[in-house]
């Protein structure tokens, strides 16, 4: 029996037009990260897909979640549960063994620590880098002294400190090196080359002084005085840097919780920054910001998370740092604390990750339905259909389909539909009129390209004689059926054949049957029907169950049928069987 294939379209798709993206609903990775503060994606078990890391403060946990490659995640695997007030997590190879190690920051115990990856996602005990980051909020890792190993950065709030820790290349870290203490309630730290001199500079944001600042690296890890980018980023919670205007330098992004703003600062290439440029003022309690190309148009879009309106949103970069309106990805995850983007399901686009204090949705992801300069391709079996927003599609070709968005507009997607072949029609061979409780054999044509399956109505399959033959024991008077399905195993496309079998009298009302006369019998060229009942049609079958003739007349020409024994079925106006009779055709 052919299957009806339904193409389910999410009506929450936001602004889905060619050249843009849409996101699916949140998919919960874990609800076991109590008060999740941070999320990160990286391959932890060397299977070439991105696993997920979380830091959660209520249960003091650093944990990871194994990805099977297409965005399905295993249970939480705890790396450490003694990270008091875990606030931030990062992963990168710290000891040059080819595996991504894990780094965490924690607020209550003032620690920056790392966990060695043994190569398959098994981690060592906590290895302390420092306990001098008082109420540590953020951790980041990158090469700061150009010695080809990864150093570590921290931002800590109670001591108003941005600091770094030199790695010797084997995961042994030096003493804390202070970059600045002129940050009132340091919240986030990031590092990237800001002045195009080939080394990684440091950027920080701080909550109470509204300060966005950077520190020039001389190339060997000596940092200059604080250079202020802004002092009006009130409630700054998160910082990120990337080239937003395609001029080959790195600009700065900030999430400001007090003013509900997502802002950016344009870099002239030498570390001189513009005044703030507002992307949005609708991120209420803005908590996190990230940037990546979401619609594969070659420029970097912006993602925000905001705690007080429970929103994850994105802003399309329309080129040169001009951003579109806020497009909401999700608004039903309570108190979003962190956003991240990476290709979670290996489909070539960047999906959204989030951490939240939501009781049931601690760590989540939203799939990106990429639709830039390409089609959504669907294959269905010939004869099947896909259902797309009120349209049944069954013919091969390309379709433009319009969907309503949650804002009342229309979105468009291109669908390319191709049809897969189905097995050719076939007949079931076997008797079509049998005695009650008789045992009979039924078979189908041999076809090495298909797999057959059988079912029987009003009887039982008592023996599978071969791949193409069964033995059936019939039950009592009624109409029975033998159903055979031929399936291509590679695609699942199938064709079904049904043979109707009259068992005994077929459950026919004998009183009604007596009101119908079929004559002559034997017959030669013409068959006549006399009926006292409303008459619709007759059908004539050979002994293999093939229907040879259908007539809606009381006089039927049978001259084209060779001599032999046949079965005649007579139907009333409701298409109910009222009589069956064996017919002998004689040509003598």
Q: Write down the pLDDT at residue 6.
A: 40
Cα 266 from Cα 81, distance rounded (Å): 41
Q: What is the CATH number of the domain that holds 100?
A: 2.120.10.70
Q: Write down the pLDDT at residue 575.
A: 73
Cβ distance 201 to 140 under 8 Å? no
Same domain, 455 and 563: no
Same domain, 393 and 483: no
Label residue 343 exposed, middle or buried (CB < 10 Å: 0-12, 13-18, 19+): middle
Domain boundary among 123, 153, 181: 181
CA 544 → CA 422, 444, 512, 567, distances in Å? 24, 11, 27, 10
Same domain, 531 and 477: no
Same domain, 46 and 158: yes
Cβ distance 308 to 333 under 8 Å? no
Residues 6+ apart with CB under 8 A from 89: 38, 39, 40, 53, 54, 55, 62, 102, 103, 104, 105, 139
Same domain, 460 and 543: no
Same domain, 116 and 71: yes
Q: Which of 97, 130, 95 is nearest to 113 (CA)?
A: 130
pLDDT tens digits for 304-336?
999 999 999 999 998 889 999 999 999 989 999
Task: Establish if 351 belongs to a structural domain.
Answer: no
Q: Write down the pLDDT at residue 567.
A: 85
Same domain, 531 and 491: no
What confidence category does residue 506 fall into, taking pLDDT thresholds of 50, 70 and 90? low
Task: Establish if 187 belongs to a structural domain.
Answer: no
Quick one: tokens of 143?
Answer: 């090469």
Note the pTM of the prediction, 2 decimals.
Answer: 0.65
Same domain, 389 and 488: no
Q: Is the pLDDT at 390 greater than 70, yes or no?
A: no
Q: Write down the pLDDT at residue 507.
A: 56
Cβ distance 112 to 152 under 8 Å? yes
Residues 6+ apart with CB under 8 A from 269: 195, 196, 247, 248, 249
Q: Write down the pLDDT at residue 414.
A: 63
Q: Write down the pLDDT at residue 576.
A: 76
Task: Establish if 360 belongs to a structural domain.
Answer: no
Q: What is the CATH number of the domain that holds 471?
A: 2.60.40
* Percent of the chain whose predicted confidence (pLDDT) is above 70: 90
What confidence category does residue 537 fall into, taking pLDDT thresholds of 50, 70 and 90? confident
Residues 6+ apart with CB under 8 A from 229: 203, 212, 213, 214, 252, 265, 273
Q: Write down the pLDDT at residue 433.
A: 82
CA 278 → CA 17, 259, 283, 311, 405, distances in Å? 25, 11, 11, 18, 25
Phi and psi at residue 551, to the nearest 5°:
-140, 140
Same domain, 514 and 413: no
Quick one: tokens of 287?
Answer: 């908590």
Phi and psi at residue 399, to the nearest 5°:
-130, 140
* Complete DSSP assignment for 121-136: S-B---EEEES-STTE
Q: Write down the pLDDT at residue 337.
A: 98
Domain boundary among 391, 420, 449: 420
Instruction: Provide the domain limits for residue 454.
Output: 433-503
Please state, as a whole number, how many other Cβ atoms lie within 10 Å of the Cβ of residue 510. Answer: 8
pLDDT tens digits for 194-224?
999 999 999 999 999 999 999 999 999 999 9
Quick one: tokens of 384?
Answer: 């099947």
Higher pLDDT, 569 or 426: 426
Cα 146 from Cα 435, distance rounded (Å): 91
- DSSP-derived pairing of the beta strands 201-206 and 211-215: antiparallel
Same domain, 411 and 538: no
Q: Write down the pLDDT at residue 500.
A: 87
Residue 416: beta bridge partners? Answer: 377, 398
Return the minimum-mean-pLDDT range out of 44-58, 389-403, 461-475, 549-563.
389-403
Same domain, 450 and 403: no
Same domain, 45 and 118: yes
Look at the block and give the residue holding tokens 């070709």: 397
Label residue 18 exposed, middle or buried (CB < 10 Å: 0-12, 13-18, 19+): middle
Phi and psi at residue 434, to the nearest 5°:
-135, 160
Residues 6+ apart with CB under 8 A from 330: 23, 25, 26, 310, 311, 312, 354, 364, 366
Total domains present in the chain: 4
């Amino acid at each position: 029996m052919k299957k009806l294939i339904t193409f389910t379209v999410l009506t929450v798709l936001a602004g889905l037009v060619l050249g843009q993206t849409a996101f699916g609903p949140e998919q919960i990775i874990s609800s076991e990260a109590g008060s999740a503060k941070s999320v990160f994606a990286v391959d932890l078990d060397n299977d070439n897909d991105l696993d997920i890391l979380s830091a959660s403060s209520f249960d003091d946990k650093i944990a990871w979640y194994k990805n099977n490659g297409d965005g399905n995640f295993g249970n939480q695997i705890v790396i450490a549960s003694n990270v008091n007030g875990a606030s931030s997590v990062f992963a990168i190879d710290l000891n040059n063994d080819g595996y991504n190690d894990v780094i965490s920051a924690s607020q209550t115990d003032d620690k920056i620590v790392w966990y060695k990856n043994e190569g398959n996602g098994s981690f060592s005990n906590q290895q302390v880098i420092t306990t001098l980051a008082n109420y540590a909020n953020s951790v980041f890792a990158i090469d700061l002294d150009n010695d080809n190993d990864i150093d570590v950065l921290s931002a800590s709030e109670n001591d108003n400190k941005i600091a770094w820790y030199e790695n010797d290349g084997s995961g042994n870290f030096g003493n804390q090196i202070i970059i600045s203490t002129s940050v009132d309630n340091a919240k986030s730290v990031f590092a990237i080359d800001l002045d195009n001199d080939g080394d990684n500079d440091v950027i920080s944001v701080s909550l109470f002084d509204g300060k966005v600042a950077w520190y020039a690296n001389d190339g060997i890890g000596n940092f200059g005085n604080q250079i202020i980018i802004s002092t009006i980023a009130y409630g700054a919670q998160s910082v990120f840097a990337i080239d937003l205007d395609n001029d080959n330098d790195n600009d700065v992004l900030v999430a400001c919780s007090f003013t509900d703003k997502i802002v950016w600062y344009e870099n002239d290439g030498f570390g001189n920054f513009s005044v703030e440029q507002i992307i949005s003022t609708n991120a209420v309690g803005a908590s996190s910001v990230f940037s990546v190309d979401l619609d594969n148009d070659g420029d970097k879009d912006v993602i925000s998370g905001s705690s007080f309106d429970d929103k994850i949103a994105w802003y399309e970069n329309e080129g040169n740092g001009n951003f579109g309106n806020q497009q909401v990805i999700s608004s039903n995850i309570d108190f979003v604390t962190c956003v991240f983007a990476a290709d979670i399901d290996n489909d070539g686009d960047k999906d959204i990750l989030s951490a939240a204090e939501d009781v049931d949705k601690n760590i989540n992801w939203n799939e990106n339905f990429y639709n830039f300069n390409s089609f959504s391709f669907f294959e269905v079996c010939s004869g099947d259909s896909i259902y797309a927003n009120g349209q049944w599609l069954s013919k091969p070709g390309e379709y433009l389909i319009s969907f309503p968005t949650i804002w009342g507009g229309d979105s468009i997607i291109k669908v390319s539909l191709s049809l897969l072949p189905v097995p050719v029609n076939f007949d079931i061979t076997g008797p079509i009129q049998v005695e009650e409780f008789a045992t009979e054999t039924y078979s189908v044509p041999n076809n090495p390209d298909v797999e057959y399956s059988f079912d029987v109505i009003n009887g039982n399959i008592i023996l599978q004689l071969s791949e193409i033959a069964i033995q059936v024991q019939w039950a009592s008077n009624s109409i029975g059926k033998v159903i055979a399905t031929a399936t291509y195993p590679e695609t699942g496309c199938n064709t079904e054949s049904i043979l109707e079998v009259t068992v005994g009298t077929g459950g026919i009302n004998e009183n009604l049957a007596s009101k119908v006369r079929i004559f002559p019998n034997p017959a030669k060229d013409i068959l006549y029907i006399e009926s006292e009942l409303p008459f619709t049609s007759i059908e004539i079958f050979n002994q293999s169950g093939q229907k040879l003739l259908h007539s809606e007349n009381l006089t039927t020409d049978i001259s084209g049928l060779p001599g032999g024994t046949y079965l005649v079925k007579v139907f009333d106006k409701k298409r109910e069987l009222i009589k069956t009779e064996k017919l002998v055709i004689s040509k003598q």
